Structure 1
Amino acid sequence: MDTDTATQAAQAQRIDWIDKLRHLLQTLAFCLAIAALQYAVQPERPYEFPLVYSLAIGSLTWACIDFGRHLFPSSAATGWPAGVPGIALPACGMVLGYLGGTALADAWFGFSSWDTGGRAQLRISVVITLVAGLVGTYFFYSRGHRATLRAQMSEVRAQATETRLKLLEAQLEPHMVFNTLANLRVLIATDPPRAQAMLDHLIAYLRATLGGARSALHPLADEFARLADYLEIMAVRMGPRLAFTLELPDALRDMPVPPLLLQPLVENAIRHGLEPQVGGGHIALRASTLPGPAGTLLRLEVVDTGVGLRASPEHATDRPGSHFGLVQVRERLSTLYGEHGTLELIACGASGTSARVTFPLNSPTP
């Protein structure tokens, strides 16, 4: 059995009991509506008769179909058994539901409806069961189909976000590498020790980048180490115009985070905050926790003492390409953490900017 078949079989066996309870309640409501309709058509009969028969037949029909579909592999496109089982299952479920439900209701009342109901009543019961079964089957089939499509769309969006991440990484790496190599060429002749230090940090940075590209999550310590190498490289290029500090509590070092999450924020801080400022500035990377409505949140901050949001039009404009990295960070947070993952840009007084990333402390499903 290949991987796809095994996956389908596992999905077919997995039962969501909350979903089943919701389906049962919807079925019971549908049965009550049918009983009320039957009573309105035949008011001379006690309401108890259509009520009990409708509930017994409807519930058993639903159980046969909704639980029976887990015996067959589900179609990836619809979430419903594919081929002949998908057609035969509702038919068999309606037959078994009608016969079994009628027997249960007969046992409840203590007589046989086959002997006392007459052919006319039998035909009415069969037609009602057939129509109700088809309507109910289509209702649950369409809901399952929509749920499957929504899940597939979410997966496609997640894949698209990761693809754009790789595009962003491809744009970041050559830009930084070429500039670093150009600086190395000059330093080798003028300051060999600084050139050696810069080369060591470049090698460590590229090694961490290649390792991070192969994983959906990595420890927060690795993210900080990668950014430390990047900032060391930039410090060699910018000299005394760049100073930085990293504040990572030991308790958070092993927390899993998406790779390359803070890189665009650090690049933005340098490019739009420190570089336009003659004296440069300071960048601080901080990690901390804070309470949230659904549990503990992890907050990552990139704080710079640059020109600030008001003096940096790249932060304030929406023109294409002006803050591609920020858009990607927001999209990744939304894909991994939903509404609980946020990115905020906050002005720090007259100058300086704080980029705050906040998301649940527990790791997402990659």
Structure 2
Amino acid sequence: MTPRRYFNGISKLRHYLQVVAFTLAVATLQYAFMPDKPYGPPVVYSVLIGTFTWAIIDLGRELVPSAAETGWPQGWQGIALVVVGIAVGYLAGTAVADALCVHYFHFYPPGTSTTGADQRTSILITAIAGLVGTYYFYAIHKSAYLEGKMAEARVHATEARLKLLETQLEPHMLFNTLANLRVLIGTDPARAQHMLDRMIGYLRATLAASRSTRHPLSAEFARLQDYLELMAVRMGARLAYTLELPEALQDVPVPPLLLQPLVENAIRHGLEPQVQGGHITVRASTRAGADGPLLVIEVNDTGAGLPATLPATGPGQSFGLAQVRERLATLHGSQGTLELIAASAGGTSARVTFPLENPANP
């Protein structure tokens, strides 16, 4: 049981309009079975009885602690509220309808009284309609609650899947970096020491940030710069890079460690096979999409270009690309894409595209 939630006037108005539509349907059905009687009185009685019944039950439940999954009182309180609502709704609605039908609409002459059969029919219709209407609103509240829980479960499942992908990606990055460090230890201990210092600083800045499912694009570019500086210790003048991030896109939320596998791939398969190395450019921009603006991030290199066939997924091979594709599919479905494009002047372009999110609503 939970305390009543804040009063939602729009929701109550929507409920009342549904009740009015239901009462008009009841009046129409009643007239269909008794076409010899005028249509006006059933409408007046039905709408007024339905209005009073709705007001007592739907507004009254705001004053009673309700179950979170239905928004309705449980146990005897819920039963009592429905019974009182139907009884008082019938008595009050009938009294007001009697006055209106006689003195305002002049459906009946003064002093006219309903027969016992008409009263019993009216009570029966009110009880059935009240129970049906109550169950309807009970069911839609419970359905909405369950749908919300299902959506919440899907969000948690997506977050858990992304965390799993990230925990797989981080050791992959460390494996590659440690392999590079091992080479330098044997050939250039001084540079190996410098690289180790860079790696410690990089990990200190990166590991905490990678524990969230989103961070600003500026933070992603900052971690990318740290990584490129780390790689520059080993490659020296053979590695040059440019990072282009427009100010308007700095706060756009993106998954952490999304771009690093693409840069790793550009270095390993593009720049390292070349004696002279090469240049890496990481650029963020936007373009229009069918369902709204898209964020486009390109990692361009002037390396050896795409091989005839990409290497199989494995340690140090296409693992990072597979992870990027899977993370994009988990977050954005078919709207998240990764393309590898052979550049006309040599080298390769890796282009990531997915829906642009509002920085205020990540």
Q: TM-score, normalised by structure 2?
A: 0.79
Instruction: Name the CA distance, whole Å, in 2 between partners of 1:196 and 1:234.
Output: 13
Identity %: 48
Deviation at 1:128, TM superposition (A): 0.7
Correspondence for 2:180: 183
Contact 2:169 2:323 in 1 (8 A): no
- For residue 116 of structure 1, give the secondary structure of its aligned residue in structure 2: coil
Is residue 156 of structure 2 the alignment partner of residue 139 of structure 1?
Answer: no
- For residue 353 of structure 1, give the secondary structure of its aligned residue in structure 2: strand
* CA RMSD, Structure 1 to Structure 2 (Å): 3.5
Deviation at 1:61, TM superposition (A): 1.8
Q: 1:58 aligns with which of 50, 67, 75?
A: 50
Contact 2:82 2:134 in 1 (8 A): yes
Structure 1 residues 222, 353: closer, same or farther in 2, change over 3 A? closer
Contact 1:308 1:352 in 2 (8 A): no
Structure 1 residues 27, 227: closer, same or farther in 2, change over 3 A? same
Instruction: Name the CA distance, whole Å, in 2 between partners of 1:200 and 1:298.
Output: 38
Is residue 73 of structure 2 the alignment partner of residue 77 of structure 1?
Answer: no
- For residue 181 of structure 1, give the secondary structure of its aligned residue in structure 2: helix
Number of corresponding residues: 342
Unmatched segments (≥5 aa) in structure 2 = 314-318
More displaced stretch, 32-41 vs 19-28: 19-28
Correspondence for 1:105: 97
**Could you report, residue by residue, the CA deviation over 1:219-239 in whole angstroms, capped at 9, with x for unpaired residues?**
332221112223333455666
Contact 1:298 1:359 in 2 (8 A): yes
Instruction: Name the CA distance, whole Å, in 2 between partners of 1:51 and 1:237.
Output: 86
**Could you report, residue by residue, the CA deviation over 1:140-159 in whole angstroms, capped at 9, with x for unpaired residues?**
22111111111111111111
Contact 1:345 1:353 in 2 (8 A): yes
Contact 2:180 2:234 in 1 (8 A): yes
Correspondence for 1:267: 261
Contact 1:246 1:284 in 2 (8 A): yes
Structure 1 residues 87, 158: closer, same or farther in 2, change over 3 A? same
**Could you report, residue by residue, the CA deviation over 1:178-224 in whole angstroms, capped at 9, with x for unpaired residues?**
33233324324533453344334323332233322454543332221
Deviation at 1:31, TM superposition (A): 1.1
| Letter aligned with residue 150 of structure 2 | M
Correspondence for 2:200: 203
**Could you report, residue by residue, the CA deviation over 1:46-89 in whole angstroms, capped at 9, with x for unpaired residues?**
11100011111112222322222332344233343333333333
Instruction: Name the CA distance, whole Å, in 1 between partners of 2:119 and 2:204.
Output: 77
Correspondence for 2:125: 128
Is residue 186 of structure 2 the alignment partner of residue 194 of structure 1?
Answer: no
Structure 1 residues 327, 72: closer, same or farther in 2, change over 3 A? farther
Contact 1:266 1:302 in 2 (8 A): no
Instruction: Name the CA distance, whole Å, in 2 between partners of 1:357 and 1:120.
Output: 68
Contact 2:191 2:234 in 1 (8 A): no
Deviation at 1:32, TM superposition (A): 1.2
Unmatched segments (≥5 aa) in structure 1 = none
Contact 2:44 2:97 in 1 (8 A): yes
Deviation at 1:252, TM superposition (A): 3.6
| Letter aligned with residue 169 of structure 2 | L
Instruction: Name the CA distance, whole Å, in 1 between partners of 2:238 and 2:322.
Output: 23
Q: Which has the larger radius of gyration?
A: 2
**Could you report, residue by residue, the CA deviation over 1:109-167 in whole angstroms, capped at 9, with x for unpaired residues?**
24699971122111111111111111111112211111111111111111111111221
| Letter aligned with residue 299 of structure 1 | L
Instruction: Name the CA distance, whole Å, in 2 between partners of 1:24 and 1:208.
Output: 56
Structure 1 residues 349, 191: closer, same or farther in 2, change over 3 A? closer
Deviation at 1:94, TM superposition (A): 1.7
Instruction: Name the CA distance, whole Å, in 2 between partners of 1:233 and 1:325.
Output: 21
Contact 2:325 2:337 in 1 (8 A): no
Q: 1:344 aligns with which of 337, 346, 352?
A: 337
Instruction: Name the CA distance, whole Å, in 1 between partners of 2:298 and 2:39.
Output: 70
Deviation at 1:175, TM superposition (A): 2.1
Instruction: Name the CA distance, whole Å, in 2 between partners of 1:14 and 1:216.
Output: 31
Instruction: Name the CA distance, whole Å, in 2 between partners of 1:82 and 1:322.
Output: 53
Structure 1 residues 128, 275: closer, same or farther in 2, change over 3 A? same
Deviation at 1:347, TM superposition (A): 5.1
- For residue 98 of structure 1, give the secondary structure of its aligned residue in structure 2: helix
